[in-house]
């Protein structure tokens, strides 16, 4: 299938949090990100790469997912995406000059994914920071993926696949669809799981470079009394070793080490995996009750 336009990567996740200072401290002192910028009374921007931000924290009354930003490969791909989205009949909103200045992005647009209500953003030319990101607590390689729990999850996955060019890497039958924004090679940059209780954030993932980052994190989290809600374990779909824990609002964060990578062309077919606990954790673990429960999806009228 030829791509309607080319992505570079999952660029950033914007979260609504009830106390920006508290969650900023969590992301710097527990997760290991670096603070780039904090707007008084407004968002804080954190990074785990040379980008200006990979996480943006916005003050809000309730915790949740504000939007997800994907970086496209070039300005040419932005223009292709604009034409493509308009052809789909989606209401495309250009990001205004003032907000682009705050986000340190030179171009960007937003639209609403129709089945989940998620605001999706495509952008190019985010400010590249002069100083490299220097990992401290964990050797974070990148923002890895974001997962949503959605009532119409199959319809959402079909929309992302057929209209936005996401490739499907694997299914857990009737439960989860793992997808990658091409030609980004990682097994999933986005996944959608079945929800029977409204649409919400499932988790945000950071990929680490060493299995020791997972083991050391278990001790760091326990010492700081941060709830670990699943893992350590090994995911069958991507083959990664994982650990999930909760941010101060109860939203779920994942570290994972190792992940299958796909070539741009001639890649394998998606597998249909049995909906069984071992398909999620080959080591036989089970999630704790707080796992992947918190994080409402911000809707347009709340924005």
Ligand X SMILES: CC(C)c1ccc(C(=O)O)c(O)c1O
Query: Phi, psi at residue 45, to the nearest 5°?
Result: -115, 130
Nearest to ligand X of 32, 193 (CB atom): 193
∠ at Cα 239 (235, 243), nearest 5°? 45
Question: How many CB atoms neighbour CB 19 within 10 A?
Answer: 15
232: left (phi over 0), alpha (psi -120 to 50) or beta: beta
Stretch that binds Fe ion, among 7-15, 134-142, 200-208, 280-288 (CB under 5 A): 200-208
CB of 217 to Fe ion, least distance (A): 15
Contact 122, 72 (CB under 8 A): yes
Assigned token pair, 68: 């997800």
Pick the binder of ligand X from 60, 72, 81, 176 (CB under 6 A). 176
Number of residues that bind ligand X (CB under 6 A): 11
Does residue 254 touch Fe ion according to CB under 5 A? yes
Q: Residue 26 and residue 20: Cα distance in Å, rounded?
A: 10
Stretch that binds Fe ion, among 94-102, 212-220, 252-260, 286-294 (CB under 5 A): 252-260
Pattern of binders to ligand X over 41-80, x per CB under 6 A? Answer: ----------------------------------------
CB of 119 to ligand X, least distance (A): 21
235's contact among ligand X, Fe ion, none, with CB below 5 to 8 A by partner kind, is ligand X
Query: Phi, psi at residue 262, to the nearest 5°?
Result: -115, 145
What is the sign, positive or negative, of the torsion defined by CA atoms of 251, 11, 79, 88? negative
CB of 193 to ligand X, least distance (A): 5
Question: How many CB atoms neighbour CB 97 within 10 A?
Answer: 7
Does residue 235 touch ligand X according to CB under 6 A? yes
Does residue 147 touch ligand X according to CB under 6 A? yes
CB of 238 to Fe ion, least distance (A): 8
CB of 63 to ligand X, least distance (A): 19
Stretch that binds ligand X, among 13-21, 97-105, 133-141, 232-240 (CB under 6 A): 232-240
Q: How many CA atoms lie within 13 A of 95 on its CB side?
A: 22
CB of 176 to Fe ion, least distance (A): 10
Residues of this chain, 201-220, that bind Fe ion according to CB under 5 A: 205
Pick the binder of ligand X from 238, 245, 258, 273 (CB under 6 A). 238
- b/e per residue 261-278 (b: at least 16 CB within 10 A): ebeeeeeeebeebeeeee
Nearest to ligand X of 24, 169 (CB atom): 169
Does residue 240 touch ligand X according to CB under 6 A? yes
Residue ranges in the chain assigned as alpha helix (H): 20-26, 75-87, 97-103, 153-164, 211-223, 277-280
Does residue 4 touch ligand X according to CB under 6 A? no
Pick the binder of ligand X from 69, 108, 165, 237 (CB under 6 A). 237
Contact 104, 123 (CB under 8 A): no
Does residue 280 touch ligand X according to CB under 6 A? yes
Residue 142 belongs to what H/E stretch?
strand 140-150
Binding site for ligand X (CB under 6 A): 147, 176, 193, 205, 235, 237-238, 240, 254, 256, 280
């Amino acid at each position: 299938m030829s791509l309607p336009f080319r992505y570079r990567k999952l660029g950033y996740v914007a979260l609504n949090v009830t106390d920006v200072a508290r969650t900023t401290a969590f992301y710097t002192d527990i997760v290991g990100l670096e603070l780039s910028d904090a707007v008084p009374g407004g968002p804080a921007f954190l990074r785990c790469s040379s980008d200006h931000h990979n996480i943006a924290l916005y003050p809000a009354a309730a915790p949740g997912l504000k939007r997800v930003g994907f970086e496209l490969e070039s300005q040419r791909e932005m223009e292709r995406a604009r034409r493509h989205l308009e052809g789909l009949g989606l209401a495309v909103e250009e990001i205004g000059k003032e907000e682009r200045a705050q986000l340190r992005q030179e171009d960007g647009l937003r639209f609403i994914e129709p089945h989940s209500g998620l605001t999706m953003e495509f952008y190019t030319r985010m400010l590249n920071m002069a100083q490299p990101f220097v990992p401290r607590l964990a050797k974070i390689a990148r923002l890895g993926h974001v997962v949503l729990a959605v009532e119409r999850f199959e319809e959402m996955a079909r929309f992302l696949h057929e209209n936005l060019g996401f490739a499907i890497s694997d299914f857990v039958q009737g439960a989860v669809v793992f997808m990658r924004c091409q030609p980004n090679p990682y097994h999933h940059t986005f996944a959608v799981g079945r929800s029977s209780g409204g649409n919400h954030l499932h988790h945000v993932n950071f990929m680490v470079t060493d299995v020791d980052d997972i083991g050391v994190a278990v001790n760091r989290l326990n010492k700081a009394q941060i709830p670990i809600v699943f893992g350590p374990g090994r995911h069958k779909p991507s083959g990664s070793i994982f650990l999930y824990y909760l941010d101060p609002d109860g939203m779920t964060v994942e570290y994972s080490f190792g992940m299958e990578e796909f070539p741009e062309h001639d890649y394998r077919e998606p597998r249909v995996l049995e909906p069984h606990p071992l398909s999620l954790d080959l080591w036989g673990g089970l999630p704790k009750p707080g796992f992947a429960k918190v994080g409402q999806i911000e809707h347009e009228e709340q924005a």
